Amino acid sequence: MHNISDWAPLVLAALTAICLAGSAAQTPHGAQITKAAFGKLPDGTAVELFTLRNVAGAEACICNYGGIVTSLKVRDRNGKFGDVVLGYDNLASYIKASPHFGCITGRYANRIAKGRFTLDGKEYKLAVNNGPNHLHGGLKGFDKKVWAAKIIQGATGSALELKYTSKDGEEGYPGSLSVTAVYALTEDNALWLDYTATTDKATVCNLTQHSYFNLAGTGDVLDHEVTIFADKFTPVDADMIPTGELRSLDGSPLDFRQAQKIGARINSEDDQVKLGGGYDHNYILSKPARLLGLAARVTEATSGRVMEVLTTEPGVQFYTGNFLDGSITGKGGWTYQKRNGCCFEPGHFPDSPNQPNFPSTVLRPGQTYKNMIVYKFSVQ
């Protein structure tokens, strides 16, 4: 088991190596960033929308309500731009009801069993918002907070920095947690997300990005071909809580070590697939621990778009929009149905605070939590 702070030097070394290796392919100037009003919360708090655009014309829009990636436009093989994430056209819809479209999820992404965990001999009771469990930070997690926004200069040019401090006791968590999220769009069409956090009291922390991707920009994702670089996964019980087992993917319909269409085995009679209503499982990544490496690769034949997902984290939650049911009308009047999007949520394992054999998510004063995520786009 390791502490989160142990990762920082290795992650920084990996990032430096990657930036140096890729510098010849990038122009000296990173994405340009513009800012516009994006509406107000019911209490009158103003929300802003930031547009990151690189020289090639790729574009990422992020609002400081929930750190939501509201759109992400990249080219297809014919050079035509298309939006590859689900979401809404306006702030009011995100506020009214959102299945975590494009947001930062925390203080703890994914599920914690029965909304409880014990740390240093003390039990903490969290908000329960997913059956008997705590999910994605609770009733008002980081996805529903207005973050302080600032445009900064990073290694590849301008970047967007969001900051939020979660007070001691918020949603039941101990400690005042100070979080920074940095978004950068590089000239090779990669959206870089860099999350860091510190605390004044021992707590747990697990952040991720929750975009629903559709590389075709329309229809379902059943023909998307997915590769996940993992040999094992964490099977779940009827409440979608890990049993504690680290199970081999050999012979399982959850095995994506060879590229498979999402729809090929999603209706399997396998118990794990049936419990999730499709894929909603944490994969234990095969990459070197604590280093930035490939988690998944997705291709879509019609558009030719390719997405690679990289992370420093030990796992990735693969989710196939199982709870989209036609009740949500999103961007451009598109009514989102089951399987219209898929998520790749890099992070620690679900319920880690209650699973002693999982990598630790405990963060203590003097340590720094860090998660780096990259979504890189190309065509074939």
Please pick, among 100, 210, 281, 348, the residue that the annotation labels catalytic: 210
Beta strands 225-228 and 247-248: pairing type?
Answer: unpaired
- Contact assessment for residue 121 and residue 202, using Cβ atoms and an 8 Å cutoff: no
List Cβ neighbours of 223 (8 Å cut-off, separation of 6 or more).
261, 262, 263, 300, 301, 302
| Cis ω before 290 (30° cut-off from 0) | no
User: Known catalytic residue: 345?
Assistant: yes
- Contact assessment for residue 59 and residue 72, using Cβ atoms and an 8 Å cutoff: yes
Please pick, among 170, 171, 300, 345, the residue that the annotation labels catalytic: 345
Q: Which helix (H) or strand (E) holds 377?
A: strand 369-379
Q: 193-205 as b/e, with b when 16 or more CB fall inside 10 Å?
A: bbbbbbbeeebbb
- Contact assessment for residue 179 and residue 166, using Cβ atoms and an 8 Å cutoff: yes
- Contact assessment for residue 228 and residue 296, using Cβ atoms and an 8 Å cutoff: yes
Token pair 């809404």 in the structure block, residue = 88
Q: How many CB atoms lie within 10 A of CB 89?
A: 14
User: Known catalytic residue: 224?
Assistant: no
Q: Which helix (H) or strand (E) holds 11?
A: helix 8-22
Q: Which residues are known catalytic residues? A: 210, 345
